[in-house]
Amino acid sequence: MVFRLILILFLSGLGSGWSRGADDAAPQVVDRNLTALNGVAEPLAATIKEIDRLNAELASADTDSRKADLSARILAERKRLEQLRG
């Protein structure tokens, strides 16, 4: 009986603020993660758009030299994308 009472008090305390210290720190961690993500998201999106554009251009390229040039540029953009992803 005493054990149940202690267990009930303990569990109700967890929901009512005993763990508040962890809850207070959570927004700061999220803010730091979002700030880091925002610094990388725009370059990632731009690089992906450039790769898509180059792929579309490659599909309609008519000379072998143009295809080789576009393939090299796509490869360089993919390497850049991997660097941005970390």
Does the pLDDT at position 53 exceed 90? yes
**Rounded to two decimals, what is the model's pTM?**
0.56
What pLDDT does residue 36 have? 62
Q: Which residue has the tokens 């005993």?
A: 18
Cβ atoms within 10 Å, residue 39: 9
pLDDT, mean of residues 46-67: 94
Domain boundaries, the chain: 40-86
Instruction: Please give the Cα distance from 43 to 11 (Å, whole number).
Output: 46
What pLDDT does residue 76 have? 96
pLDDT in tens, 19-46: 555 555 555 655 666 666 667 788 888 9
